[in-house]
Amino acid sequence: MSKADGDGSKGPAADRSDTSDPVDDDVWTEVLPPESDTPDEADVLAEEMDEQKELTPEEQRQIALLFPGVVAERDEYLDLARRVQAEFENYKRRVDSQRADQRAQAAISLVREILPVLDTCENAEAQGVEAIAPVHQQLTAILEKQGLNRVGDAGDDFDPNIHEAVMHEEGEGDPVVAEVLRAGYTWNDRVVRPAMVKVRG
């Protein structure tokens, strides 16, 4: 028996297997940095943004003193934005007014085309054609509902804005309408056709 066998010593393989003991926890502590409870910069910035409040007038004044160029540029952009907004509002009102005028003029043009029909109906009724009366009344009611108004009755004071004097007779006092030769009409307070009248006085 050899000396190696007698003292029960282990071979190289056995020696290597004995070195596989777990690494001490202190080694890992030295390798890995300890976890820190201190918040990082992103968390701090987020908290500051959450806690940020509206600046007081004094703080705004201090910022204006520290950064005059930035404040001046801000005021310039704000003034420009206000001017653009005001110009847009004026443009919008102007366009709306133009559209309203265009619609009114279109309606007046249509009414002017219809007035001869009313004149024909009146003349027919004056000559005793009673069958035309229902049509005349219905047409007049529809137009009056939309804004048509008859002007120029006998006995009214003469108004050159709504009366057209084609004949005159002597009389005392202020001029008045003596006779209506052709009815006048307004459409939503706009004169569509002045009344053709005979004036006395």
List the CATH number of the domain containing 192. Answer: 2.30.22.10
Final residue of a domain: which of 128, 146, 164?
A: 146
Q: What's the pLDDT at 12? A: 47
Of 146, 163, 183, which residue is a domain's last? 146
Residue 43 lies in a domain: no
Q: Which tokens hold the place of 123?
A: 């003349």
Residues 132 and 169 in one domain: no
Judged by phi (left if over 0) then psi (alpha if -120 to 50, else beta), residue 173 lies in left
How many domains does one find in the chain?
2
Residue 59 confidence (pLDDT)? 76
Q: Which residues pair with 180 in a beta bridge?
A: 197
> Does residue 50 lie in a domain region?
no
pLDDT value of position 145: 93
* Res 1: pLDDT: 46
Q: What is the pLDDT of residue 9?
A: 46
**HEC assignment per residue over 86-155:** HHHHHHHHHHHHHHHHHHHHHHHHHHHHHHHHHHHHHHHHHCCCHHHHHHHHHHHHHHHHHCEEEECCCC
Residue 83 belongs to some domain of the structure: yes
DSSP-assigned states of every residue in 25-67 = HHHHHHHSPPP--S--HHHHHHHHHHH--PPPHHHHHHHHHH-
Asked if residue 151 and residue 86 are part of one domain, the reply reads no
Residue 157 and residue 121 share a domain: no
Would 131 be classed as within a structural domain? yes
How confident is the model at residue 39, as a pLDDT?
A: 53
Token readout for 176 is 């008045």
Residue in 169, 160, 159, 163 with CA at minimum distance from that of residue 181: 163
Same domain for 189 and 199: yes
Last residue of a domain, one of 117, 146, 175: 146
> Rounded to two decimals, what is the model's pTM?
0.54
Does residue 32 lie in a domain region? no
Whether 60 is in a domain gets the answer no
Is residue 142 a part of any domain in this protein?
yes
Question: Within the chain, which residues score under 50 in pLDDT?
Answer: 1-20, 23, 27-32, 36
97-126 confidence digits (pLDDT tens): 999 989 888 989 999 999 999 999 999 998
Owning domain of residue 200: 147-201
